[in-house]
Amino acid sequence: MPSIHQRIDSINAQLAAQKQLIGQLEAERSALPGQLSSLMEGERDRMLRERRKWEDLREDVNVCYRRVKDALHVNNLAIPRSHGSGERPNLERLYEMTRDPAAVAQSPSRTDEVLRLCGRYLDYIDVHVRQIENSGSSRCDQHNRELDVRRQQIDRRIREAHASEDAILGGPEGTELAAALRRAQAESAVSVARLNRWPEAGACASALFGYEGPKINADREKADLLKRTFGNMVSGNKLCLARNIQLERGFGARVEYNVNDEDRVVAGIEAMLLSALLARPARGLRVITADGIHYGPTFLGRLEPLARVRKSGFLRVPASDDEMRAMLKSQHAHYSGLQTKLAGQTLEQYNAAHPDEALPPTVLLVAQDPNAFGFSMAGSELAFLAGNARSLGITVVELVRLDPRSQNQRAFQSTLTTGADIVVRQTDDGRFYVLHNDKKRRFMWGRVPDLPADFVSRACQLAAPQTFGSVYFDRPELSFTLPTRSVGKRRPITVPIGIDDDDKLFNCTFEGDNFAAYIMGAAGSGKSSLLHTIIGSLIMNYHPDEVELWLVDFNKTEFSEYAKLKPPHVRNVLLEESEQLMFDLIDELMARMERRESLFEANGWKNLSDVPPSVFMPAIFVIIDEFAQVSMQLLETRNSTALPDYTLKLESLLRLGRKFGIKFIFSSQSFLSGVRALTETARNQIQLRLAMKNVRDEVEGTLGVDGSNRTDALMDEINSLGRFQSIFRQQEKVDGRDTWRYYHVRNLYLEYDALRKAVLDVNAALHAENASSTDFAQALTSDNAYADKHPVFLTSDAPVPYGVMKERYRKFAGNVRAHAGYETVDLSRTALLNLGVPASFVQVKPAIMDLSGPEENVLVAGGTDDERACMAMSALRSWFEVDPNHEGIEVWGSGNARAYADHMDYWGKLTHASSPGEIKARVESLKDKVLADKRPRLVIVFGLDAIFDEMGEMEELAELSSLGGSAPKANEPAKSDGGGTDLWSLMQSLDEQIGDGPLDDATRASIQSQIDGYNAGVPARSGAPIASGDVKRVKSIIGKLLEVGPKRGTHFVVLQPDAYSVKKCGLDQQLFMHKVAFPMSRGDSYDLFGGPVASNLAAGTAVYTCERRQVRIVMRPHIYKGMVVNGWRFDGTTTSRTGGA
């Protein structure tokens, strides 16, 4: 649609053409008499020329006549005339006849003939002379008639041209222009009616800047017609054109005025601001005043109170240079953020695409006096605002006060409004004008009627920001509705996470490259609250069959409520601090990804969004709090020989998982330590970054701030981060290129009671069905039904009795090859040892023991006596599946090993031995059995070092008896004597008595008496006597049994109280393929495992390793009746806290 200026130019061009035509026609009409005169003169000249020829001919005839007359000597000689047509003169004949006049005179007949011939010739000439005269007269008449016709034609065309002018002015074009002028005035005029109806009058795009006086190219005679067409919008031939501002498109105006006329300018600016305010609803306009003349709200006029309303659209006016700098700096940061949000669009384009999130346009008033030494307006902040005014929707009005008496005013050159849309200047007599096509047009400021008494107060109330705040359900756009299924195509996943400076909701999308996020914040920053907001939003807005939550908290504090509430979206709530959890998590996700990859390939899908909603394949959200705690454990698997490199597995998940709908949210107090376990490739996949309050290095590291993107504005945002605030980074396309965008937001807060109610409402409205929860299953169709995910809630550190897990173990064994890592297991040749419950959502993960494989022995180190006893019981219970009659099971234990001695109610039912002699006999017997057959056997050994020590002590006693007196009864077991002396006390006493020197007879007799007395108080026990060299032999046999036994079906489970006791045994640790360790020091862990695997364990857990098979499992030992594990006791029915281990 043409603009008003274009309409005026078009009408004026047409009027000019008609006026030019009229002028040409009138000039042509004025030239008609001259043309006639010229034609008449030409006719006369032509007649004279033609007549002269005939008159010359007449004279020739008369010459001949006179010759004859003279020859006759008469005065009157009549020429006979018939006055007829005559005869065409033949002068040669006549000349020949009158050559001799005398002869002619002498002959009357010849005379008569000459005279008759002259008469006929003269008659002929008279006829033609008359014809010439008649023809000339006729042609003159014809010219007169033709010119009269032309004059009439010209008059008609002049009338038509005037009619065309009337048609232009009074016809469609004129009326359309008049209508456009009325619309322009109506939409921007500041009237009492609009003031009274505001803001109910609604928003419009235009505001009044002032009025121009363009001329209509019409004569005074058209004054009545102009008045009829344009009414009061015309005076003479000058129109009153409202010069409106398209607020969202940006505008540039410069006003140069004389200091004596500032009041008129102030009134005009006030009218402009009022018009802009009326054009926008409440808070739909921003007004920034940078007044370097008055340092106050002078140019706001009666609207000055709006600048005192906190956070209104009218910014407070700086009152000093420092305030001016601070204000401009903050606005530079604000509009830099707005530019980021627009992402290459203009404000008008953004608002058209997001009508519900429309951003306000801005009026920027910049006042300066080039003759004064005030604040310089040539700074980069103002240059940025003015340079981006078109895209940011900023109307820049530069007010330049000039003093006519100053010599500097002509030297002023604007640096802000170069190429302004309108430049207003003053003539010497004080009139304002603008230039249009290098022609001056009069300019008039808008006028404001008397404001309604309550207008300013109403405006102040409405200008105060209507904020809904950051509480989730306080915001109307986040009202709770039950989640429904996607229809036709899967809905993209978008989560509200905060609000911006304008109280607008800020959403985070998890689609495309934005599938992984890292949230970093120090303790107390609000990080956990933000996690709950994200989780709650997913639960409330997406159907359980479309979103699946895996919640992992290594600090075991944040996600426990979801285990209690059990929302249908949850697959796992894992509150555990073990590395096992992360390993199993990664392995399970890898398996899920590989299954989905096959399905995608088979169905031609490229991304999860291609999968129809009718197929069950939810987006998996893996949300890990305190990720930094496990980062180092993942890092230790890099270049490990005992475990796969889980950092590479996690990299693969992050690199490939996004297309299959696997999304991650990592959270920790430290980003720099949290990402140590992530390869560079893995880190690059995490595009979404949220940095909360923390030290600067952490914030910059999270956001990826370096020299290429570090700006003062961003640094100010980082330094000013408060609690429950985030700087959000995501990658966006700008002009086809990937660009980092940063947003400072206040985090949304979802109160626990509101979250709990919403989850309970979801639980009440939706019900689980036993539909398949396997990818690619047929999805349910009802919004109120969902596939039961059979969630795992790992929320307690309570150990689980073996009996509780027994049925699961049997089911696992019954389908063992269906489980990852167990595909090749042959139960006829393999034992599955369920030594404990993995500290993970994978609750069954037995150790694989080859019944005839080398080094298939188990070493257990550390833990309490009861914990080691529990581990031994679990090995036995697992072995019962191999040897249900217990024929090949033996339990050996030192009498001083509490794990053995305190639980004889368990071991006493099996073949067991405790005295050195008994154990020696069992060793010898076992050696023979191993040599004889390959039957499966399991030997549980408690405190092998203590057994060797006791054998050594008995061997010393046997040697001591050889010193004299009665030989000690070495085959008698240790027992406390009547005075309560036990073997250890006796040995310590004897060592002190013997000392380093030779014994005298009295001392020797005393020692022998003590030994005899001890032996007399101990009842006889079975077993071979311990003789000199037996310890070495037993050690040698056990070493060989550990080496050869597993190949022949005999396996050992050796349980030692600590790493020192393991080393004290002197056994080759390479003979133990299976190792179990409870928490121990880093040094001990390195001694046993070559790494810190047991030094990072939580209380009540143990780590199982099988380096050859690259297996590591962190587990909690089973608990048995009468035993205490990590402060828990099992009474045969329930497990309860005891308050201590």
Binding residues for ATP: 521-528
DSSP codes joined into one string, 762-820: HHHH-EEE----STTEEPP--TTEEE----EEE------BHHHHHHHHHHHHHTGGGST
Phi-psi region of 1003 (alpha: psi -120 to 50; beta: other; left: phi over 0): alpha
Q: How far apart are CA 347 and CA 391, in angstroms?
A: 6
Token pair for 128: 């033609």
Contacts of 805 (CB under 8 A, 6+ apart): 834, 837, 843, 844, 1118
In the DSSP assignment, the letter for residue 470 is S
Q: How far is CA 52 from CA 59, 90, 948, in A?
A: 10, 18, 170
Please compute Rg for the chain using Cα positions.
57
459 contacts 466 by C-beta, under 8 angstroms? no
Q: How far apart are CA 538 and CA 762, in angstroms?
A: 12
1076 contacts 1104 by C-beta, under 8 angstroms? yes
Q: Determine the number of helices (DSSP H) and then strands (DSSP E) in the chain.
A: 34, 40
746 contacts 724 by C-beta, under 8 angstroms? yes
Query: Identity (one letter) of the amino acid at 541?
Result: N
Q: How far apart are CA 401 and CA 293, in angstroms?
A: 8
CA-closest candidate to residue 662, choices 590, 601, 603: 590
In the DSSP assignment, the letter for residue 969 is -
* Sheet (strand 1111-1117) strand order: 836-838, 1111-1117, 1102-1106, 1074-1077, 858-861, 1050-1056, 937-942, 889-893, 911-913
Which residue positions form the known binding site? 521-528
In the DSSP assignment, the letter for residue 1121 is B
Preceding amide of 199 cis, omega within 30: yes
1124 contacts 1107 by C-beta, under 8 angstroms? no
Q: What is the largest CA-CA distance in the chain?
A: 229
Q: How far apart are CA 572 and CA 568, in angstroms?
A: 11
257 contacts 353 by C-beta, under 8 angstroms? no
* Sheet (strand 422-426) strand order: 241-246, 206-212, 439-444, 432-436, 422-426, 251-258, 394-402, 362-368, 286-291
Query: Identity (one letter) of the amino acid at 660?
Result: F
Q: What does the chain come to in residues? A: 1141
Burial classification of residue 826, based on how many CB atoms lie within 10 Å of its CB (0-12 exposed, 13-18 middle, 19 or more buried): exposed
500 contacts 506 by C-beta, under 8 angstroms? yes
CA-closest candidate to residue 953, choices 979, 988, 921, 978: 988
Torsion over CA: 875, 877, 881, 883 (sign): positive
Q: How far apart are CA 183 and CA 242, in angstroms?
A: 9
- Judged by DSSP in three states, 508 sits in strand
Q: How far is CA 751 from CA 254, 384, 519, 536, 679, in A?
A: 52, 41, 19, 10, 36
